[in-house]
Amino acid sequence: MSQLSQKRKSEIALLCVVLIWAMNISLVKWTVEKFDVFVYNGVRYIIALIVITLIYFYRYKWKTIERKDVFKIIGLGLMSNVVYQMSFIVGIRRTTAGNAAILLSTAPVWTVIFSSIFYKTKFHKSFWFGLLISFFGIIIFNSKNEFSFGNFEKIFGDILLLFGAMIWALYTVLQKPLFQKYDAIHLTFIMMIVGAIGLTSIAFPSMLNMNWKELGIEYYFATILSATFAIAIAYFLWSQGVQHIGAAETGNFNNLVPVLALVFSYFTLKEELDFTQIIGAVFTIFGVWLSRRKIYEE
């Protein structure tokens, strides 16, 4: 397979990931209104691990991990599958799906920042300008959220989601050197094991006390959908994108998530979308796009 065709296939796969994640924000927001967030995450990762295990052993063979890489992979697994997921799932329950989409859209910018820190990459001035615009957009988007004790929960949710965007970006950057030794599916499989163990351990006390019969079948079906597509398949395709086209280029596809997620949340969850939020969203998305348009100094 030529390098060009592989790149094109990775780009198409990443577009599918963007669509899945955009729909998943509204799906998760709806599901956790009834589902305990810790149990929800634990169950999702058990299902996701089953799915990725079937994919892995059906198409691939086990490759031994070098001892020096074991703790790196475990650390990345904790970062992407435990810390990020906890920030995401707890944050999204405390804020709106629209806010979540915008705040998570800053991940590409953080990806470039961490790339410059770890790989000493020099970036074009348009990147820094775009960075300022994107954060200005976030301020406008959340300008209606006056800081008060009554609104503290929503602000806390926004902070968690912004932190989650940073963690996801750091994970995207730090996994890149490992692709010189291991395939994306191999790393995804091992990190999924780490995530399933970590999140299930956190959720176990709540699992014991939960009344499973209270939930309708539709909530279990939504959980299976989210686990299969938004975690197992999407994480694999995302890592594959980093492997084939690079961290910064892959991160750029995240720019499309907030646009689609805002549309989905407006029509499916009937969340309010006023003119101020639209303006803030436009600034944020434009800023992130501008910062990715010309990244590197020539």
> How does DSSP assign 214-235, residue by residue?
GS-HHHHHHHHHIIIIIIIIHH
Distance CA 100, CA 106 (A): 10
pLDDT for res 147? 46
149 pLDDT exceeds 70? no
Residue 92 has pLDDT above 50, yes or no: yes
Predicted local confidence at residue 145, as pLDDT = 55
Q: What percent of the chain has pLDDT over 90?
A: 37
Question: Each residue of 70-80: pLDDT tens digit?
Answer: 999 999 999 99
So what's the pLDDT on residue 264?
79
Q: SS3 breakdown of the chain: % helix, strand, coil, rounded to 5?
A: 85, 0, 15
Confidence of residue 17 (pLDDT cuts 50, 70, 90): very high
pLDDT, tens digit (0-9, with 9 covering 90-100), for 40-69: 999 999 999 999 999 999 888 888 899 999
Query: Does 194 score more than 90 pLDDT?
Result: yes
User: What would the two tokens of residue 280 be?
Assistant: 């803030």
| pLDDT recorded at residue 153 | 83
Residue 123, strand partner residues: 296
Give the mean model confidence (pLDDT) for residues 275-283.
83
Of 85, 72, 88, 108, the residue nearest 187 (C-alpha):
72
pLDDT at 148 (0 to 100): 46
Burial (Cβ within 10 Å: 0-12, 13-18, ≥19) of residue 117 = exposed
Position 142 in a domain: yes
Tokens at 5, concatenated: 């065709």
Two tokens at 71? 């703790």
Least confident of 14-28, 47-61, 283-297: 283-297
Does residue 55 form part of some domain? yes
Lowest mean pLDDT among 16-20, 66-70, 187-191, 260-264: 260-264
Residue 78 lies in a domain: yes
Residue 192 lies inside a defined structural domain of this protein: yes
- For residue 237 the two structure tokens come to 């395709």
pLDDT at residue 4 in the model? 54
Three-class SS of residue 199?
Answer: helix
Most confidently predicted of 74-88, 126-140, 275-289 = 74-88
With cut-offs at 50, 70 and 90, classify the pLDDT of residue 3. low
DSSP 60-81: ----PPPHHHHHHHHHHHHIII
Nearest to 106 by CA among 80, 129, 138, 81: 138
Cα–Cα distance for residue pair 109/72, rounded to 1 Å: 23
Q: Lowest mean pLDDT: which of 103-112, 196-205, 249-258?
A: 249-258
Cα torsion at 204, 74, 187, 173 (round to 10°)? Answer: 120
User: Quick check: 2 pLDDT over 60?
Assistant: no
- Tell me the pLDDT tens digit for each residue of 223-257: 999 999 999 999 999 998 888 877 777 777 776 77
* 234 occurs within a structural domain: yes
Average pLDDT, the chain: 85
For residue 269, is it within any domain?
yes
Domain holding 255, by residue range, is 3-61+68-293
In our burial notation (b when 16+ CB lie closer than 10 A, e otherwise), range 210-241 reads: beeeebeeebeebbebbbbbbbbbbbbbbbbb
Q: What is the pLDDT of residue 283?
A: 86
Number of structural domains in the chain: 1
Sequence length of the chain is 298
